[in-house]
Structure 1
Amino acid sequence: MELSNIREHLKSQDVYIVEVPLRSKNGKYRQKQIRCMYLNQQTGTLLLMLSDVEDIVKEEKEKQEQLEKALKMAEAANEAKTKFLAGMSHEIRTPMNAIIGLNSMIRSSLDDREQVLDYTEKLDSASQYLLALLNDILDMSRIESGSMKLAIRAFEGDKFWDNVNMLAKAQAVMAGVGYSFERRKKISEVYIGDSTRLEQIMVNLINNAVKFTPKGGNVNVSVAEQETDGRVQLTAVVSDNGIGIAKDFLPKVFEIFTQEHEENTRVYGGSGLGLSIARNYARMMDGDITVESAEGKGTVFTVTAKLDFDRRKKARKERTENISFEGKRILLVEDHPLNVIVAKGLLEKKQFEVVTAENGKKAVELVTDAPEYYFDAILMDIRMPVLDGIEAARQIRALDRADVKELPIIAMTANAGDEDRRQTKEAGMNEHLAKPIDPKLLYTTLQKFILP
């Protein structure tokens, strides 16, 4: 660093700063900063200030590296989401096209009952697939926002595993894959936990195993139970001898929006959300999901979860086949004409007399004008014009008459989040059913409140 060079720079600036590595007394080089300025410009006297900036430079370098790493991660996440949205578009359009096409085919085949039944089965399958896909997206959103809660209730272990096996065997048979199940050391008849989420975990893992196992391969499920600190430690192992997972992809297998190969999305389908959702559910149950795999040899997923249990009693059996609500009158509050047709059909199938209201204001008027105990229950949509279901329920509960204090009001809405459930409960509603309505759940809920 020559003085002439410094003077040249000071012609255009008051302070000239330069950083250079200089050898310290211990022989090691450290980054130094030299600030140059005129002490007296008339005499040409220079002032040079030397400071050690090694630590500052290192810190800035580390920050820069962290920023670059974060930027790369953000870019990778955006790229993954872009690919995911493109895949979602295809995944959603496929069943939608099937639904639209089958609907048209049904209308043109009304004289052929067998053909219509075949089409309606396919229509149901496409609808269920689309619903499952949308549920995955909503569940992932709730998990990421921290609003997902488990629905804790008693359930029968034998019945639970029978149902999982029924679904698994059906998938395996259709795929031409062998299937075996083993359950060791049953702790209790009745467990207390979120059976729906637990079933979702198991079905997701088993379906994945079947999906990625070639015809003639095998999928094996083994379940063990152990009592620990007054709870049941459940360990389920799902293994297959399918295509396996590459070693470098294993750390990413539970990440959202990811699939090992893009062609897997096209060949096998799926959103890339299932495993991430399943693992989050397992962790909410004080457990986890781990994976071991070798490409070309197969994969082993191990699920752990903790459940409470009750040795004394069996879970209440709910039968809906022979339920009859003959002589019972229900007020159906729903603004969408198609939803009215569907819900009314389900209710009349069980001999309900159905009265309809297109909004909350009309519902309040009907209850107000009717004699006491005229209605046995109310099914209430939430989002409606004129007056929503929350306010309508509050106004009905506030009426000065005896019957409305105990009249069952059941929310029947697409708003299925925990905050929505809290709001309906605060408004005085007794239950909250998510759309699309599960007929069996609808009947058992009404049975609980109406039939002795």
Structure 2
Amino acid sequence: MRARTERKKADAANAAKTAFLTRMSHDIRTPLNGILGLIEIEELKEGDMQVARESRAKARVAANHLLSLINDILEMGKIEDRKLTLEHAPFNLKELCDDTLVLCKLRASSNGITMQDNSLPYATGPYMIGSPTHIRQIMINLLDNSIKYNKRGGSVTFSSKAKPLDNGRALFCFSVSDTGIGMTPKLLKHIYEPFAQEGDDARSKFQGTGMGMPIVKSLIELMGGTIEVTSELHVGTTFYVEIPLDIDKNPQARTDTVEKALDCSLANMNVLLAEDNELNAEIAQALLESEGVVVTRAANGNEVVDLYLSHPAGSFDAILMDIMMPDMDGYEATRAIRLSEKVDAADIPIIALTANAFAEDAQAAHDAGMNAHLSKPLDFNKLKNILARIKKNGSVSL
């Protein structure tokens, strides 16, 4: 009897794994096929600038969707393995909400859906310390769902406020309400389980990994918050979220530093770029050179250490370091540079440019002796800001 029960559990686990791989294969292939198709269209219509612009815009949307799918898969794995690390970083909560709403309003508008912001002024002020990346992820998941499961002519309403708590903390409260398809009481019981949707027809009609809501709930609980939901079939759904945050006591000093850095030109900065992927290296070099930066390239960890050691101290203003490289990875290369006897070994800024995108990866970069961490695909504006701060102040920190 026990053997039969164990066999059933194993069969169920295998079936779930097969279903997961099938879903992921479909969801990853869909935007990938779109990107490849758009490249073919642009090649067929070579010289047509309008087609080229439209193809690039559509390819960017498809690529971002593909990236979000991959991030969902990785995030869920981190959560299940209990390896997810939250940030503890200063940020402007109002700006985060406003920026997120701007992105989602564009998608809502293209689907014939109106979006309203009924937020109240924050009694605590907007400057907080917490995990902005994950708060944005939670908001985007909930807002995307409210658009995805809505109908043309429908609406989405976002409301938020920040209430003061004891000990210099605040409670960020927000809700997302829609006039969409709603959910049955049966689905509501399973909404935070992976792949929970109303039926097979819903799965084919609405794109997604089916992991958004489990990720949302897990992230909120990791931050010590709560999430509640009310829904009525064919009427709509409302999610209520509360997340405790620390209030930033000294935001102005950070704001002044960033604003001063943004005014700084990058022309004639010398950067040592360590990247083993030829295409990634070409892209980074082209973007940097467009800002007047002089780039020296290394193809692996050993080469970046050799180039650094063979040049006089002060030759490079910063080192951009990939992590996963042959012969010697970015962590080892950073340690080798820091332990060398060169005059600037302890001070030269080293920035991780890596596909390892989670908070624990940033911590690993810090532990290895790096000053900052940027995830791929590269956000060039963030890199420019970091390099500007280095040129202005001589340093930057994680």
TM-score of the superposed pair, with normalisation by structure 2: 0.91
3-state SS in 2 of match to 1:410: strand
Aligned residue number for residue 158 of structure 2: 221
**Contact kept in structure 1, 2:323 and 2:353, CA below 8 Å:** yes
After superposing the two structures, state which structure 1 stretch, 161-170 or 412-421, moved more.
412-421
The 3 A distance-change label for structure 1 pair 235 and 288 is same
Alignment equivalent of 1:210, drawn from 143, 147, 160: 147
| Structure 1: gaps (5+ residues) | 1-63
Aligned residue number for residue 396 of structure 2: none
Could you tell me how far 1:396 is from its partner in structure 2?
Answer: 1.5
3-state SS in 1 of match to 2:153: coil
**Contact kept in structure 2, 1:221 and 1:238, CA below 8 Å:** yes
Q: Identity, % of aligned pairs?
A: 36
Aligned residue number for residue 362 of structure 2: 421
Aligned residue number for residue 190 of structure 1: 127
The 3 A distance-change label for structure 1 pair 295 and 388 is same
3-state SS in 2 of match to 1:387: coil
Q: Show CA shifts across 1:316-343 (max 9, x none).
A: 2746876521121000011111011111
The 3 A distance-change label for structure 1 pair 101 and 424 is same
The letter for the 1-side match of 2:204 is: R
Aligned residue number for residue 245 of structure 2: 307
Superposition map of 1:257-336 within 5 A: 257-310=195-248, 313-314=251-252, 316=255, 318=258, 323-336=264-277
Q: Show CA shifts across 1:64-123 (max 9, x none).
A: 69984x776665554344323212111111111111111222233331112111111111
Distance 1:355 1:406 in 2: 19
The 3 A distance-change label for structure 1 pair 389 and 279 is same
3-state SS in 1 of match to 2:104: helix
Aligned residue number for residue 93 of structure 2: 157
Distance 2:49 2:297 in 1: 32
Aligned residue number for residue 232 of structure 1: 170
After superposing the two structures, state which structure 1 stretch, 185-194 or 300-309, moved more.
185-194
Aligned residue number for residue 56 of structure 1: none
Could you tell me how far 1:447 is from its partner in structure 2?
Answer: 2.3
Distance 1:103 1:283 in 2: 42
Aligned residue number for residue 199 of structure 1: 136
The letter for the 1-side match of 2:283 is: V
Q: Show CA shifts across 1:187-232 (max 9, x none).
A: 2131111112111111211110111111112211211322122311
| Structure 2: gaps (5+ residues) | 394-398
Larger Rg computed on CA atoms: 1
Aligned length: 388
**Contact kept in structure 1, 2:309 and 2:342, CA below 8 Å:** no
**Contact kept in structure 2, 1:394 and 1:428, CA below 8 Å:** yes
The letter for the 1-side match of 2:131 is: D
* Structure 1 position 435 matched with structure 2 position 371: no
The letter for the 2-side match of 1:398 is: L
Superposition map of 1:7-156 within 5 A: 68=5, 75-156=11-92
TM-score of the superposed pair, with normalisation by structure 1: 0.80
The 3 A distance-change label for structure 1 pair 75 and 386 is closer
RMSD between aligned residues: 2.2
Distance 1:286 1:364 in 2: 43
